[in-house]
Structure 1
Amino acid sequence: MKKRILYTVLLAAGLTFSGCSDQFLQDMNPYDSYSPEKTFGIESNLDLYIQNVYYNYFYKSGMTPPQSYGLSGSWNDYSTYTEEKWGIEKKFDASRSLKKATDCETYFGSNLATNIKNDPYSRIRSCNEILEGVDEYGQDLSEAAIKKAKGQAYFFRAMQLFDLVRVYGAVPVVNKVLMAADREGAKDYNRESVETCVNQILSDLKEAANLLPTRKEWGSDQYGRLTKEAALAYRSRVALVFASPIFNADWNNTGSKRWKDALDITLEAQAFLSSEGYGLYGNSAKDWNEMFYKFDNQECKEVIMVKLLASSTSKNDEHSGWQKTIRLKTMGGSGSGYHVPMGMLDIFPMADGSKAVNDDGEAINGYDRSLFFKNRDPRFYYTFTFSGVKWGYDQDADAVVWNYRWSETKEDGSQLHYYTENEGSSPAIVRKMSDPAENSANTYQWDGTDVYEYRYAELLLNLAECYAATGDISNSVKTIGEIRARVGIPASNNYGLGTITDKNEAIKACLRERQVELAYEGKRYWDLWRWMLYNDDASDNNTTCTTLGIEPLNGTARVGKYLQVKDYDGKADPLASVIADFEPVDVDNAADLQAEMNRLGEFWSQHFVLEDRETPVDNVNGQEAVISWQENYYLSGLPSNVLNMNPWLEQSKGWLDYYESEGTLDARK
């Protein structure tokens, strides 16, 4: 039977625990249905409580692909704040200046109430309850049960504190159960330095790694649980952030202790995971693509952390909305697909691994923007799809994408536009992480394709970046080459990376590879954020764009194009019979894929031209709007409700406090 209920954990016995139900898991508190003795002193009840913690962290957590855990609980993957998706959100809107406490991110949590809410510090409280409860009431628990319980609690607490740090920088560290009525005692909890927070996070993850079973030790029926391997890998992610410019003024020093620590932590994780059988999956781009759906509810050597989803027809279970979003209506989707900004197509390398554009954005190495699909990185064809290419689904394995428009000129000179099966805001749409066998009925509402939160490829990219930042350029290039070799990029010229001798060029190569390998997996915002790539501001020790030679996002705009039928004016689809006779490209089964792309290029050149949109995709009142990010947006101030209830907490610099005075705390330090 397909998994019944999953909050990042597969319940070993479904829901047969003493007649328990979904509602029990949602409502259970240690001092509600059970006494603390029974909750923390009986192994089965303790595990139910831990499962409830999984539920509170990950159920409806915004992790429908492509989103990562990003932020625990229901939140946002911020993809519209990247090159992957267009849209002028509030932090990109030049007409706004967000500075008030009422403008701050509300992730910190809501005000105290009579009921316990699923907020960050409530989730931390649950972890502290487990740690204290097991010590006080767990005399009859087995050693294995104690280790599992504490290991999971330490891991969860670390993840939650890490998320708070990523949003606010300096935050209070709470490592014991607090009583809500103890207002005086609460005043002891101030905003700790980022270093103190990170040290606590790394310490908790180390404890988790020491206590948790490996994936093999958990057993396949507990797939999805937090593991020793995941704790070690998560330490790498945390250390990488701490070494990055957002928190490290010394980031450009190859001798920086933080980069060295991050390298050591990542090497430790990589060595242990390799010894446990983890590694890159597959030997081709086709394997790479199948990895995202082939191992549904099954272990995959590349997957370090996974969120399991249900393909049942129960509304109480969690399902994925990803294929509903990316599939065309003709394929059971909800609309016109997930359109790709044109600049996103430039990011992927050529087939030999060389760059498609230079640092000035000029096409190089034979790249043709009008025929963007020719001679590209093998991953390109499984990240995007476009007119004339097969993209099968459960009802039609031979379904083909056609995504173009044609126009008719009216008597007054204005034009009417007609479209194929979607609007055509971009000639390419996202296809990554789509399962061709998933049930398309009712717009994929029962899609149970699992979400990969942390892959071995990300760990290798962490390693490559640490090598680069510490000056070990050869190992950095070698590690990127491992990732490229897996999808079939040839080994010549360092897998297309060329000869890199400059540390900052190596860092840029790492960041580019992350854009490609991890595209649409909810990772890009956090890379832009930790490297502060939206802007430069020397007054705030932010010059990474200039130092690395990367164009900041500020002042740019995501661009959409139409694939327009050329040399035609009329109402009827001029290509209806032409496309019916065209043999579509099958990227899965082409004997010579690039020859097929050349054939498709000839068809496009004969029938289509890329044309600008009448209304820019990034626009305000119909006029193109460029990205406008402000320095204080990197780390939010505390929201007004938090400052009002906890007046002893300082507000962050760049933000106004509850009384609209300037904040004083440097949240990056």
Structure 2
Amino acid sequence: MMNIRNINKLMILCFLALTQCSEDPLDKRPLGAISEEVVWNDESLALGFLNNIYSRALPGWATTASQLSDDAHGENGYMYGEAQPGSMNIYSGSYTTIKDINLLLANIGTGTIDTEVQNLMSGQALFFRAHLYFRLVSTYGGVPMVLEARDKSDIEALQVPRNKTSECIAQILSDLDEAAELLPIAYPNAAADYGRITKGAALAYKGRVLLHYASEQFDPSQDKGRWQAAYDANKAAINLLSANGKGLHPSYENLWFDESETNPEAIMVKRYTLDQSHNRDAGCRPFIVGTNGESFDKPTKSLVDAFPMKDGKAIDDPSSSYTYDPTALWVDRDPRFSATIAWNGAVWPLNNPAPNRTSDLEWTFQESAIEGQADSRITPTSFNCRKAIDGSIEGGAASLSSPTDWIEIRYAEVLLNLAEAANEVGLSAEAYDILIQIRERAGIEPGLDGSYGLAAGMDQDQLRNAIMHERRLELVFEGKRSSDLRRRRMYETINGTYRQGYRITKTASFDALDPSEEILDDRIALEEGINNGSIDLNDPSVYNTYFNTELRSVERFGNIDDDGSAINYLDSYYFFDIPQDELNKNPNLEQTNGWPGGTFDPLQ
């Protein structure tokens, strides 16, 4: 018999499903009349329960992840070695959702719901249990693997020790394998069920799990031999996905706005609407008075410099067909550059009100926003992120409610996962081929040798660096860079450094563009000159006529004259501490090594 607490939860979660999903709109049985038997015998109620799991477990836009990397500005304490014990707390919330997943898995087969529907629901629930446990394991190392719904009153049953990390990974993989067996390649009503977990998503996620488990976070000495399993899993995912219509979207820039089941690149998606929206657009766009001061994904100089030229060669590669100029740094770059980054003077159509926008040109020089509050919020790096930003959304309050879907797993990521694993098992030719596919879709020129700017004859270490570099560019601002730095223990490569940007100011020549003393009038005059062709900011000498550019640190306390605080990501952050509240509740929990009182080895 199900405990009354669980029945109450079911009644609360399923009442909306009962009143909203029932075929009979007049069928509004009293809340107290919904029993355990009714729930698991009513497909709509059970689906409502599953949908609630989706809403809590499915990842959304990673708006602050880039702050934990070298890609964006962000004065986050983790980057300075100042994380307090318990600050990384995803523990109890994850287990709350896992409990509901276990509840569904235990009860979905007890009623009269069609067996095929039961299997579909079970497959989705198993996927999310694997996802939540992997999120926990990636954060803390091994955690208690609770696979049954347990009542809070059963204290002894809840006070279980941490499983070894290897045991957790084994169970996660088992759940994903079982989910893949139960899930369809595509749902019969593909349009209505777009966003539901499929067999392809389960296989792709398994590949991601094994890629992480093979990496240095879980295997610092790289002597566990886990890369072959990662390769096999990602190869299986690519084979199934590509055989069933998945692949790279024709447009790197526009793939985010193809929100339908026909998007070949979307493997795992969180859907948004105006009623269930996110605020990422407001934080990436230039600040507009009326928003809340969100600030996301402000690109650093390091990221800007990382994009190659149009021929795929690095900006400092003398063999490139193009000459890089540090003033007109946007000219002749990898097409992903302009699809990702907006610079001072860039063409970026945005539906922003005047005086923020008086043309399709973006301005990031000091005082360019005209209004005092907005001027104080000009991007500190001089760059804004335009990736996946819907310029048609009205600026200001409306941009706080963006409906653009989040793609948690793209086909490009699965390809890059495969390339990385292929290189580690000695299949360099396959890794090369994948990098070429990625760069070809990006629009990079093939060159006479068809290498798309990739150096020939790279050894394993060089190819590994090339793959990680390509991941940084292709998956930028998707929450993957900080994850990559952590799983491959690459924070040591940026520790002691300082993220930088530019401070751009107007010149006397800018002030002389219009007879009035208003900056806005001068800016409009400059825009008119650019639009009629009399002023070409792609010419460095012309650009410097109107703007001064100074390098600055964007670290905490940093400015033009002071580097501020250096990056100092600690080794203990590769596996965080269990929050003290959880230790107090469960005396059988060990704290993670590297934290006060820690005895649990997350590498076992």
Distance 1:505 1:330, change over 3 A: same
Worse-matched range after superposition: 176-185 or 198-207: 176-185
Partner of 2:311: 352
Q: CA deviation at 1:85?
A: 1.9
Distance 1:14 1:382, change over 3 A: farther
Distance 1:38 1:344, change over 3 A: same
Q: Give the conservation status (yes or no) of the 8 Å contact 2:286–2:384.
A: no
Q: Give the conservation status (yes or no) of the 8 Å contact 1:297–1:450.
A: no
CA distance in 1, matches of 2:401, 2:83: 41
CA distance in 2, matches of 1:185, 1:151: 26
Q: CA deviation at 1:384?
A: 0.6
CA distance in 1, matches of 2:270, 2:153: 36
Q: Give the conservation status (yes or no) of the 8 Å contact 2:287–2:293.
A: yes
- Are 2:32 and 1:93 equivalent residues in the alignment? no
CA distance in 1, matches of 2:248, 2:123: 27
CA deviation string 1:606-633 (max 9, x = no partner): 32231144xx421249751101111111
Partner of 1:521: 478
Distance 1:352 1:640, change over 3 A: same
CA deviation string 1:573-620 (max 9, x = no partner): 49436513333599xxxxxxxxx998454531332231144xx42124
- Are 2:79 and 1:142 equivalent residues in the alignment? no
Q: SS where residue 220 of structure 1 aligns?
A: coil
Partner of 1:292: 256
Partner of 2:163: 192
- Are 2:284 and 1:326 equivalent residues in the alignment? yes
Q: CA deviation at 1:151?
A: 0.3
Partner of 2:267: 304
- Are 2:534 and 1:576 equivalent residues in the alignment? no
CA distance in 2, matches of 1:19, 1:434: 40
Q: SS where residue 340 of structure 1 aligns?
A: coil
- Specify the code of the residue in structure 2 equivalent to 1:619: R
CA distance in 2, matches of 1:87, 1:216: 41
Worse-matched range after superposition: 397-406 or 325-334: 325-334
Q: Give the conservation status (yes or no) of the 8 Å contact 1:404–1:424.
A: no
Q: CA deviation at 1:482?
A: 0.1
CA distance in 1, matches of 2:200, 2:261: 17
**1:264-303 counterparts in 2 under 5 A?**
264-282=232-250, 287-293=251-257, 295-303=258-266
CA distance in 2, matches of 1:107, 1:198: 18
Q: CA deviation at 1:158?
A: 0.3
Q: SS where residue 225 of structure 1 aligns?
A: coil
Among candidates 307, 329, 340, match of residue 299 of structure 2: 340
Partner of 2:574: 634
Distance 1:181 1:429, change over 3 A: same
Partner of 1:127: 101
CA distance in 1, matches of 2:374, 2:103: 58
Q: SS where residue 454 of structure 1 aligns?
A: strand
CA deviation string 1:195-217 (max 9, x = no partner): 11111111101111110122243
Among candidates 137, 145, 167, match of residue 173 of structure 1: 145
Q: SS where residue 106 of structure 1 aligns?
A: coil
Q: CA deviation at 1:568?
A: 6.0
- Specify the code of the residue in structure 2 equivalent to 1:521: E
Among candidates 591, 598, 601, match of residue 666 of structure 1: 601
CA distance in 1, matches of 2:386, 2:211: 30
TM, length-normalised to structure 1: 0.77
Q: Give the conservation status (yes or no) of the 8 Å contact 2:577–2:591.
A: yes
CA distance in 1, matches of 2:106, 2:477: 39
- Number of residue-to-residue matches in the alignment: 565
Q: Give the conservation status (yes or no) of the 8 Å contact 2:308–2:314.
A: yes
Partner of 1:52: 52
Among candidates 86, 106, 116, match of residue 89 of structure 2: 106
Among candidates 220, 230, 239, match of residue 201 of structure 2: 230
Q: SS where residue 491 of structure 2 aligns?
A: coil
- Specify the code of the residue in structure 1 equivalent to 2:45: N
Q: Give the conservation status (yes or no) of the 8 Å contact 1:327–1:333.
A: no
CA distance in 2, matches of 1:299, 1:397: 36
Distance 1:333 1:482, change over 3 A: farther
Partner of 2:549: 610
Please, which runs of 5 or more residues in structure 2 have no aligned partner?
A: 1-15, 512-516
Distance 1:598 1:439, change over 3 A: closer
CA distance in 1, matches of 2:480, 2:184: 27
Partner of 2:590: 650
Distance 1:461 1:97, change over 3 A: closer
Among candidates 199, 215, 219, match of residue 190 of structure 2: 219
- Specify the code of the residue in structure 1 equivalent to 2:543: W
CA distance in 2, matches of 1:597, 1:145: 62
- Specify the code of the residue in structure 2 equivalent to 1:402: W
- Specify the code of the residue in structure 2 equivalent to 1:234: Y
CA distance in 2, matches of 1:665, 1:19: 54
Partner of 2:5: none
Q: SS where residue 353 of structure 1 aligns?
A: coil
- Are 2:360 and 1:399 equivalent residues in the alignment? yes
Partner of 1:83: 70
Q: Give the conservation status (yes or no) of the 8 Å contact 1:331–1:440.
A: no
Q: CA deviation at 1:354?
A: 1.3
CA distance in 2, matches of 1:107, 1:159: 13
- Are 2:402 and 1:437 equivalent residues in the alignment? no
CA distance in 1, matches of 2:301, 2:18: 48
Q: CA deviation at 1:38?
A: 1.7
CA deviation string 1:550-592 (max 9, x = no partner): xx11101111211233466977549436513333599xxxxxx
- Specify the code of the residue in structure 2 equivalent to 1:635: F
Worse-matched range after superposition: 47-56 or 568-577: 568-577
Q: CA deviation at 1:49?
A: 1.3
Partner of 2:504: 563
Among candidates 373, 391, 406, match of residue 451 of structure 1: 406
- Specify the code of the residue in structure 1 equivalent to 2:279: G
CA deviation string 1:167-212 (max 9, x = no partner): 101111111112222222334x321111111111111011111101
CA distance in 1, matches of 2:532, 2:408: 31
Q: CA deviation at 1:39?
A: 1.6
Q: SS where residue 41 of structure 1 aligns?
A: coil
- Specify the code of the residue in structure 2 equivalent to 1:349: P
- Specify the code of the residue in structure 2 equivalent to 1:319: S
CA distance in 1, matches of 2:453, 2:540: 23
Q: CA deviation at 1:508?
A: 0.9
- Are 2:456 and 1:499 equivalent residues in the alignment? yes
Q: CA deviation at 1:331?
A: 11
Q: SS where residue 281 of structure 2 aligns?
A: helix
Give the % identical residues. 29
Q: CA deviation at 1:398?
A: 5.2
Q: Give the conservation status (yes or no) of the 8 Å contact 2:270–2:408.
A: yes
Q: Give the conservation status (yes or no) of the 8 Å contact 1:341–1:559.
A: yes
CA distance in 1, matches of 2:284, 2:389: 8
Distance 1:259 1:221, change over 3 A: same
Q: Give the conservation status (yes or no) of the 8 Å contact 2:308–2:333.
A: yes
Distance 1:577 1:130, change over 3 A: closer
- Are 2:475 and 1:475 equivalent residues in the alignment? no
